[in-house]
Structure 1
Amino acid sequence: MEYKYQIVLTGTITSATTEITELFYKKLEELQLLSNAYKTINASDFDKEYKGNQPTFVLYFGNSEGNFEDANLVEKLLKDGNIVLPIFYNSFREEIPPILSNQNGLQYSNDKNDTIVNLILESFGKLRNSRKVFISYKRDESTSVAIQLYEALEKYNFDVFLDTHSIKPGEPFQDELWHRMTDCDVIVILNTPKFLESNWCKEEIAEANVKQIGVVQLIWPNHILERIAEVCFPINLNENNFINKVYNNKDTSKLTNETVSSIVQQVESVRARNLASRQDNLITEFLNIARTYGKGMNIQPERFITEKLDNKKRRIFIPTVGIPQSIDCDPSSALMKEIDDFSVNEVYLIYDDIRIKEKWLNHLDYLNNHLDVKTIKKQKFDEWLQNH
């Protein structure tokens, strides 16, 4: 039986359904994932196409007239233990069937398509469940906008790092800052006129380049785009993007709601797009060193590395973006299926350990002595591959 990831489309199908589906397959291409490993299933094809033992994400599209289509189908999908995301337009209570009343729904708008697609990819283990953003800014120029973006991104369930809000008193400031940047998905730079006069800001940009972290650069009015990051997505602001056209007061300047929504959408998009390049960096470096020792390794379509061993077993190496957590050592059910198919007896997470706090590295070393899934530091790739 062919093994696939399933997206089941239920409820009242509209143009929004088509837009989300098209964006999903576009994201697969950006992440360099094979599209034929995924399939979308409509209610009309459900009995023929749906497989209960395969990873599934269900979208339920509400109906403003209260016509709860596919309610029986959703009941079966819930009993199978599947994730169901109710999508409503105005009123959750009126548009979503009672059987989904305990589910956390999402109110639809065009700028939510990225969010919906990323939720699907996260559920399949193709994006990190944590959604981490780092805001880089100059305090004496853009504090009020930095706080505004912090609050807006938190509202959309991002874990946001802002120095004034995220570092506890008594924490080593610089160590904590580098540690948190290492683990973020996107950096939002508030490029004000004197931004690059700050040594702290320059160092943060240098770190972003080293880590190949995607940067959303907000360029202030009457300022220019700085060529400050390898992976950069610029947004040119003008005075109309600011409430009352006030953009040069660090304490009172605020972006309009429309501008904030646009920035949040861009952050969501860059987050998914940047994952592939950071995985590629880990994969490329690991494979280059492995080849110097004559090891036969291959990249699989789902972006992990396999190595054949003499005893007809295989090792699997999984590129892990950011800081590995203990939960990362428990592979998803989909990956476990792939591991079973390969008769694998060793699984490793490979990660970039530069700038991660020593305390956390020691914790990961401790987990290596107690869990079946091990971790390998980037700075130890050569040593590990030479000895294994």
Structure 2
Amino acid sequence: MAKYELVLLGSLPDGVRARLAAVLEDAVSHYELKLPADIAIRTAVDVAQRDIHASTAVLYFGGDPTRDADLVRELERARVPVIPVVPRGSDVAAGIPEEIWAVNAFFLDTGEGAIASLCALTLESLGLLRRQRRVFVSYRRDESRAVALQLHDELSARGFDVFLDTHDILPGDQFQEMLWHRLADCDVVIMLDTKDYFASKWTTQEIGRSLAQGIHILRLVWPDHDPTRHLSLSDMIRLQPGDVGPDGRLLPQVVDAVACRAEILRSRSVASRHREIAGTLRIEVERIGGRFEGIGAHRAMSLSLPNGLALQAYPVVGVPTAELLNDVHSKAITADPKRFPCLVYDHHGIRPAWSEHLQWLDRQVKDVRAIRVFDAGWELAEWDS
């Protein structure tokens, strides 16, 4: 049976199912999942056959609010998330059942990134991709400040949480600590690859640490500039002379292309970092004589320690929070209440004050733990209850 199920209801536009399935299939391949074996796509015709234990999300395409309304009510009662998807510019309430009026709608347009954004929303709803859409802009102030400011504003308006050093580090904060903390918590680095980008030790360190943590890089290569070869595996957009206006800002269609590429790259980046954390955890557990027993919904790892203690481990990307610990605990109790839940993360780059906060949470909260993946074997070796 599939661990994940996506249900498409309502007035589905022609061709959208096939386009969404194609983009989704590529995205989940980076999680080592396949359609339909691991992720089933259903409609009103076969929704009754869904596995109630699978992680499920519903996309309701607006148009005729009476279409599949009974199914929406049934799924709402079962606490399955139902997300309205409506054409941009339409009257949302007029096109969807009353039961989901309170749910913020996704506006589907004809732009290049529409299906990519809808795919990302699907992955978030299924629990495969975190809901925060964090982007870090790396640039030389004297060469590309105007574009950096433009991307901050334009991508923020599209729902991204964009980090820019001049905007997001408050007076009194330790500058470098906050820089590395926000880098560790981002999904994608947008590198403004100008002629003297690597002449600064700070930008060089930003890219080096991005690579060290497996964060994917989207490079915007300036016109008439030869990009460095050691970043040949990064994703790249080559700017043409006409792509940058006389005011030093990108043309609107270029910004759209950057947003679309960042959305696609985000799921790949999070998936590869997740795999690395999961792989390291498995090695650490097996090194001390424990066993890896399988992967369940939300990419949870079932593990057992040499003393028989059963764990449900959730590798997470980025900086852990108290809210995330609570979410892990809730998911683990639903999945298998006999296994002790723990959140596993990469601590590199996280500022010391936040690490102290996590240690304090561990002392106060006894029902779930946060573990540094690179210390996992050392720490788990002393767990006896």
The verdict on a shared fold, with TM-score over 0.5 as the criterion, is yes
CA displacement 1:94-136 (0-9 Å, x = unmatched): 7623524433222213412121122122122211121111000
Offset at residue 38 of structure 1 (A): 2.8
The 3 A distance-change label for structure 1 pair 135 and 84 is same
Q: Which residue of 1 aligns with 2:227?
A: 225
RMSD across aligned C-alpha pairs, in angstroms?
A: 2.5
Give the conservation status (yes or no) of the 8 Å contact 1:34–1:301.
no
Q: Which residue of 1 aligns with 2:118?
A: 116
The 3 A distance-change label for structure 1 pair 240 and 69 is farther
The structure 1 residue matched to 2:358, chosen from 355, 359, 364, is 364
Q: State which drifts further: 232-241 or 79-88.
A: 79-88
Offset at residue 178 of structure 1 (A): 0.6
Q: Which residue of 2 aligns with 1:264?
A: 259
Correspondences of 1:1-40 after superposition (within 5 Å): 4-13=3-12, 14-33=14-33, 35=35, 36-40=37-41
Q: Which residue of 2 aligns with 1:374?
A: 369
Task: Say which SS state the counterpart of residue 387 (structure 1) adopts.
Answer: coil
Task: Say which SS state the counterpart of residue 190 (structure 1) adopts.
Answer: strand
Offset at residue 179 of structure 1 (A): 0.7
Task: Say which SS state the counterpart of residue 170 (structure 2) adopts.
Answer: coil
The 3 A distance-change label for structure 1 pair 57 and 296 is closer
Task: Say which SS state the counterpart of residue 153 (structure 2) adopts.
Answer: helix
Segments of 5+ residues of structure 2 without an aligned counterpart are none
Give the conservation status (yes or no) of the 8 Å contact 2:287–2:377.
no
Correspondences of 1:297-336 after superposition (within 5 Å): 297-300=292-295, 302=297, 303-309=299-305, 313-330=309-326, 331=328, 335-336=332-333
Give the conservation status (yes or no) of the 8 Å contact 2:138–2:189.
yes
Offset at residue 3 of structure 1 (A): 7.2
Segments of 5+ residues of structure 1 without an aligned counterpart are 247-251
Q: State which drifts further: 23-32 or 254-263.
A: 23-32
Moved over 6 A (4+): none
Letter in 1 for 2:314: I
Offset at residue 382 of structure 1 (A): 4.1
After TM superposition, the score normalised by the length of structure 2 is: 0.88
Distance in 1 (CA, whole Å) between partners of 2:146 and 2:60 is: 38
Q: Which residue of 1 aligns with 2:46?
A: 45
Offset at residue 271 of structure 1 (A): 0.8
Task: Say which SS state the counterpart of residue 329 (structure 1) adopts.
Answer: helix
Q: State which drifts further: 292-301 or 217-226.
A: 292-301
The 3 A distance-change label for structure 1 pair 299 and 211 is farther
CA displacement 1:257-307 (0-9 Å, x = unmatched): 111111111111111011222122222333333333332224425544332
After TM superposition, the score normalised by the length of structure 1 is: 0.88
Q: State which drifts further: 156-165 or 326-335.
A: 326-335
1:235 matched to 2:259: no
The 3 A distance-change label for structure 1 pair 88 and 304 is closer
Distance in 1 (CA, whole Å) between partners of 2:307 and 2:203 is: 52
Give the conservation status (yes or no) of the 8 Å contact 2:288–2:377.
no
Offset at residue 235 of structure 1 (A): 0.9
